[in-house]
Amino acid sequence: MQCNWKIFWENYNECLHCPGVHLQLVQLVPIFGRGLLEERDDPQWMQHAGSNDPKFKGGLRAGATTWSMNGQGIGPPLPGLTAEDRQAAHVYVTSLPSVFFVGHPDYVRIVRLRPLGPEQTEMCVEYLFAPQTLADPNFDMSNAVDFANAS
């Protein structure tokens, strides 16, 4: 990437830019379309406390099951997830300054960053899928990878 690694992290920690930059993502995760990362980022969040609308609560749009081009799963959900976990569809774990992990209902994405100079950063992305997903002869990870690249 043609940016300083600190600029990447600054961008990563907010979603004000999401509505104008990440068009597929804001269609999949409606709260991001409001420039918010989560419910409590909204100064008027209490006005929507009783709502289940993902535009106010976060999570996926109706009918979607994961972060992918069509919103549909790459494989079966990972074991042990609750209905709330599956609806949220993402959990981030960040270890500054070099890596973040994103757990989705059916796969995990690992993103590593390495500064190459003051205005250049290398990004390496890995995808982890359950063994039964990988064993499926129809397995095609492009639905997830294309979404990440387009978003």
Element (H, E) at 95: strand 91-95
pLDDT of the chain along its 151 residues, tens only? Answer: 999 999 999 989 899 999 999 999 999 999 999 999 999 999 999 999 999 999 999 999 999 999 999 999 999 999 999 999 999 999 999 998 899 999 999 999 999 999 999 999 999 999 999 999 999 999 999 999 999 998 7
pTM, two decimals, is 0.91
CATH number of the domain encompassing residue 24: 3.90.380.10
Calpha distance 83→88 (Å, rounded): 9
Tell me how many domains the chain contains: 1
Parent domain of 50: 5-150
Calpha distance 68→74 (Å, rounded): 8
